[in-house]
Chain A
């Protein structure tokens, strides 16, 4: 079935940067589309970004476009989210989620918490 484990979260000041990672194992990583989805404390789910299996197709939510960059390394079986110009409203638990089949985010990691505060 495989596993996804997020890391890289932490406390950062407004305007700062952070790079999240999602390490995967147990499946053919390059064959699956991946997503980042976040959840602010006490709030609902917000889709952040999508990247296709080969990395050629990428989408972002309007709220992060121009500030966040998604990427993947299919040799290292890892997904990344580079977050720049962070704002207080980016404070959230960030989940990576695997699509299986395409369009269905079936497998989720446990998340990594990002806190943007001065």
Chain B
């Protein structure tokens, strides 16, 4: 199975400051079509996960522009340009290239 490793696992931040989360895959997530099959989710307390970024760098509908995704192959990054109080929760990366989908361990963002 593909192992997804996130860092850090806990991320204390100050409102207005930037934040960055890393996600590394044990195998390349680059498809022959040029897309990286890596998605990012935010799970707020008591809610199901919500999609933030798909295929590495595409913002999902309704996601604020302060969220961005980058990377290719095995190394990916989620960045928040200026953290807001509403951004607290646990962030997960998920690979969907290899048929047994796998998630990272999660990164808890705290203010």
The answer on a CB contact under 8 Å between B39 and A105 is: yes
Q: Is B76 an interface residue (CB 8 A)?
A: no
The answer on a CB contact under 8 Å between B48 and A108 is: yes
The answer on a CB contact under 8 Å between A104 and B103 is: no
The answer on a CB contact under 8 Å between A103 and B48 is: no
Q: Which of B41, B101, B104 contacts A35 (CB 8 A)?
A: B101
Q: Which of A47, A59, A106, A111 contacts B51 (CB 8 A)?
A: A106
Of A35, A103, A110, the most chain B CB neighbours within 10 A belong to: A103
Q: How far is the CA of A47 from the CA of B102 in the complex (A)?
A: 6
Per-position contact with B for A93-109: 1 when CB-CB < 8 Å, else 0? Answer: 00100000001111011
Interface hits, A36-68 → B, CB 8 Å: 44-47, 50, 59, 61-62
Interface hits, B87-104 → A, CB 8 Å: 90, 92, 94, 96-97, 99-104
* Cβ contacts under 8 Å, A45 to chain B: 41, 43, 49, 92, 94, 103, 106
Main SS at interface, chain B: loop
Per-position contact with A for B52-72: 1 when CB-CB < 8 Å, else 0? Answer: 001100001000000000000
Per-position contact with B for A14-51: 1 when CB-CB < 8 Å, else 0? Answer: 00000000000000000000010000000011110010
Residue of B nearest to A1 (CB): B61
Q: How far is the CA of A47 from the CA of B100 in the complex (A)?
A: 8
* Cβ contacts under 8 Å, A106 to chain B: 51, 54, 60
Pick the 5 closest A-B CB pairs, nearest first. A108-B48, A47-B101, A103-B96, A104-B54, A45-B103
Sample of 5 further A-B pairs with CB below 8 A, known A108-B48, A109-B48, A111-B48: A44-B90, A44-B105, A45-B43, A50-B101, A103-B54
Give 7 CB contacts A-B under 8 Å. Answer: A35-B101, A44-B106, A47-B100, A50-B101, A103-B37, A103-B39, A104-B96
**Residues of chain A at the chain B interface (Cβ within 8 Å):** 35, 44-47, 50, 59, 61-62, 95, 103-106, 108-111
